[in-house]
């Protein structure tokens, strides 16, 4: 009992510190992990071996592998090339630009991290909008929303999905059959909604179209050879993702293999490549795993799961929908990664108690993936496009996000809820 209270206190305090954003989230989580290890030793509920076992090496491996691939692809100018191509193809028409940039953002974020995606696409968006003489704000805001939506569609698109796949055993193809169809519907709904919400801004016909047509995509691509090599390996990796089940290999296996293959083929300055890896994100994951492992070992999550199981047994549908909206609401206010890491063991306990938890995994994935769209601080992608927009003459404000982003989040959750209820029998299987 004391062990449980101490573990819960440490967990709550460090998560509070993470969410307060007073100090760096990795430092807050690392301090908590340290405290948890000491408490575990003193009260005898959490051993060092248990802490090491709590670190999900599958998740870390997949994230690291993908980060290495991005670190090699980004300096080649490939994304700039694609964005410039889209800009020319739009012929400077705002609605076309929104659809093209939206589609690219979603497609890229299905395979790469959402944050990476907007960091790559937003600068070129600002460039094209400024040349056209229109405000980049609607486009940047849409890109953040659509990257979060795209990320929810695949196993590798977003860290919560990586975590869920590793904990549930869902394969890459499981996400394509269970998540992607719903995400596609959400995508079209969102694009239509954005078209409506920004109808005034999108009506303006820019008169500097020749300037956009004078952009030269070939010049934007700085290193053709490296780009081709990384993309070839990335294509091979996607192929392996499809064959994950028959070959019985993990996503982490594929990503680290792809990273090793690309490093061998490109042979970059490894020091420079490693500078682009987000070590603080990886460290944050490790610290959170150790923290959550502690409250799990102390028996806190078991008690929570027992309580949830009673509700779940009486009304599993309500539990699924409740999970979806609860996780989405939390993700709109705070980081969805710690939320996902904390909820995963609860779902696992529910599974151990005999509940069919498959629908709950999907509810967690949709909630964590789409909830972040609700507020200006809901996801890192939102924060990034906002800070980029501050360099332009029309910065994105919290008020603008509440008027444009929040409706998108609510409507997309509503769409997901309806589809989730319809597909529920499918999710049970």
69/124 with CB nearer other proteins: 124
Smallest CA-to-CA distance from 211 within 84, 119, 103, 120 is with 84
Q: Given candidates 86, 132, 194, 346, which one binds other proteins under the rule CB under 8 A?
A: 132
Stretch that binds other proteins, among 23-31, 40-48, 125-133, 248-256 (CB under 8 A): 125-133
- Of 17, 37, 69, 84, the residue at the interface with other proteins (CB under 8 A) is 84
227 in Cβ contact with 221 (< 8 Å): yes
* 122 belongs to the binding site for other proteins (CB under 8 A): yes
Where does this chain touch other proteins (CB under 8 A) — which range of 22-30, 99-107, 202-210, 312-320? 202-210
**Scanning residues 226 to 285, which ones bind other proteins (CB under 8 A)?**
none
**Hey, which bits of 300-359 come out as E strands?**
none
- Quick one: 140 or 258, whose CB is closer to other proteins? 140
Q: Is residue 115 within the footprint of other proteins (CB under 8 A)?
A: no
Alpha carbon distance 117, 34 (integer Å): 33
Q: What are phi and psi of 61, to 5 degrees?
A: -65, -45
Nearer to other proteins, 123 or 322 (CB): 123
Of 77, 138, 359, 374, the residue at the interface with other proteins (CB under 8 A) is 77
- Residue (216 or 280) nearer to other proteins, CB: 216
- Greatest CA separation for the chain: 71
- Residue with smaller CB distance to other proteins, 131 or 363: 131
Residue 213 Cβ vs other proteins, minimum distance, rounded to whole Å = 9
Q: CA–CA separation, 240 vs 246, rounded Å? A: 10
Cβ closer to other proteins: 135 or 166? 135
Min dist. Cβ of residue 206 to other proteins (A): 7
Which of 149, 165, 220, 368: binder of other proteins (CB under 8 A)?
Answer: 220
Choose between 214 and 280: whose C-beta lies nearer to other proteins. Answer: 214
- What is the C-alpha separation between 184 and 146, in angstroms, rounded? 11
3-class DSSP assignment, residue 356:
coil
H-assigned helices in 112-223: 114-132, 137-151, 159-168, 172-178, 180-197, 199-203, 209-213, 217-220
Among 133, 169, 192, 235, binds other proteins (CB under 8 A): 133
Residue owning tokens 């998560």: 15
**Measured from the CB atom, is 280 or 387 closer to other proteins?**
387
Residues with Cβ within 8 Å of 121's Cβ and at least 6 positions away in sequence, in order, are: 79, 83, 101, 104, 105, 108, 143, 147
- Applying CB under 8 A, among 50, 189, 208, 250 the residue interacting with other proteins is 208
User: What is the 8-class DSSP label of residue 334?
Assistant: S
Which 387-416 residues touch other proteins, going by CB under 8 A?
Answer: 388, 391-393
Q: How far apart are CA 359 and CA 366, in angstroms?
A: 11
Nearer to other proteins (CB atom), residue 42 or residue 213? 213
Answer yes or no: are the C-beta atoms of 112 and 150 closer than 8 Å.
no
**8 A C-beta contact, residue 11 and residue 33:** no
Report the residue from 126, 165, 197, 332 that binds other proteins according to the rule CB under 8 A: 126
- Could you tell me the smallest distance in angstroms from the CB atom of residue 143 to other proteins? 14
Torsion of CA 80, 82, 83, 89, to 10 degrees: 140
From 34, 217, 329, 407, residue interacting with other proteins (rule: CB under 8 A) = 217
Question: Which member of 112, 124, 146, 324 binds other proteins (CB under 8 A)?
Answer: 124
Q: How far apart are the first and last CA of the chain?
A: 37
- Single residue of 131, 165, 167, 288 touching other proteins by CB under 8 A: 131
Structure tokens belonging to residue 243: 């064959």
- Quickly tell me which residue has 């969102």 as its tokens: 190
- Tell me if 216 contacts other proteins by CB under 8 A: yes
How many residues belong to the site for other proteins (CB under 8 A)? 30
How far, in Å, CA of 32 to CA of 53, rounded?
17
CA distances to 23, 94, 233 from 254, in Å: 35, 39, 11
DSSP 379: S
Q: Is residue 155 within 8 Å of 66, Cβ to Cβ?
A: no
Beta carbon nearer to other proteins, 47 or 216 = 216
Which CB, 161 or 389, lies closer to other proteins?
A: 389
Q: Residues in the site for other proteins, rule: CB under 8 A?
A: 77, 80, 84, 122-124, 126-127, 130-133, 136, 206, 208, 210-212, 214-220, 222, 388, 391-393
């Amino acid at each position: 009992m004391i062990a449980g209270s101490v573990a819960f206190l440490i967990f709550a305090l460090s998560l509070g510190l993470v969410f307060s954003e007073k100090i760096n989230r990795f430092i807050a989580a690392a301090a908590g992990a340290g405290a948890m290890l000491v408490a575990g030793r003193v009260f005898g509920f959490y051993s060092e071996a248990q802490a090491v076992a709590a670190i999900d090496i599958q998740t870390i491996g997949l994230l690291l592998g993908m980060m290495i691939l991005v670190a090699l692809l980004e300096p080649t100018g490939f994304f700039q090339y694609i964005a410039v191509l889209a800009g020319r193809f739009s012929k400077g028409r705002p609605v076309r630009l929104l659809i093209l940039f939206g589609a690219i953002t979603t497609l890229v974020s299905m395979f790469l991290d959402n944050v990476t995606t907007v960091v790559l696409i937003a600068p070129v968006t600002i460039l094209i909008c400024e040349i056209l003489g229109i405000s980049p704000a609607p486009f940047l805001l849409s890109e953040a929303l659509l990257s979060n939506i795209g990320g929810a569609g695949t196993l590798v698109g977003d860290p919560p999905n990586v975590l869920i796949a590793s904990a549930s055993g869902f394969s890459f193809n499981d996400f394509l059959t269970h998540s992607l169809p719903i995400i596609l519907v959400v995508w079209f709904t969102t694009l239509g909604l954005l078209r409506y919400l920004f109808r005034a801004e999108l009506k303006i016909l820019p008169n500097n179209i020749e300037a956009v047509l004078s952009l030269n995509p070939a010049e934007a691509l700085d290193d053709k050879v490296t780009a081709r090599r990384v993309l070839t390996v990335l294509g091979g990796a996607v192929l392996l993702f499809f064959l994950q089940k028959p070959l019985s290999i993990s996503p982490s296996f594929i990503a680290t293999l792809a990273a090793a293959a690309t490093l061998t083929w490109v042979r970059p300055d490894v020091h420079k490549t490693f500078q682009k890896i987000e070590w603080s994100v990886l460290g944050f994951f490790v610290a959170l795993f150790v923290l959550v492992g502690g409250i799990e070992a102390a028996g806190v999550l078991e008690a929570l799961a027992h309580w949830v199981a009673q509700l779940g047994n009486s009304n599993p549908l309500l539990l699924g929908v409740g999970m979806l909206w609860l996780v989405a609401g939390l993700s709109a206010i705070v980081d969805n990664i710690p939320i996902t890491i904390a909820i995963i063991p609860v779902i696992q306990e529910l599974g151990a108690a005999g509940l069919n938890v498959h629908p709950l995994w999907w509810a967690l994935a949709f909630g964590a993936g789409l909830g972040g769209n609700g507020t200006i601080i809901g996801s890192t992608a939102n924060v990034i496009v906002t800070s980029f927009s501050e360099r332009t003459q029309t910065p994105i404000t919290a008020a603008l996000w509440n008027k444009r982003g929040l409706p998108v989040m609510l409507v997309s959750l509503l769409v997901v809820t309806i589809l989730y209820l319809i597909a529920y029998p499918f999710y049970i299987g």
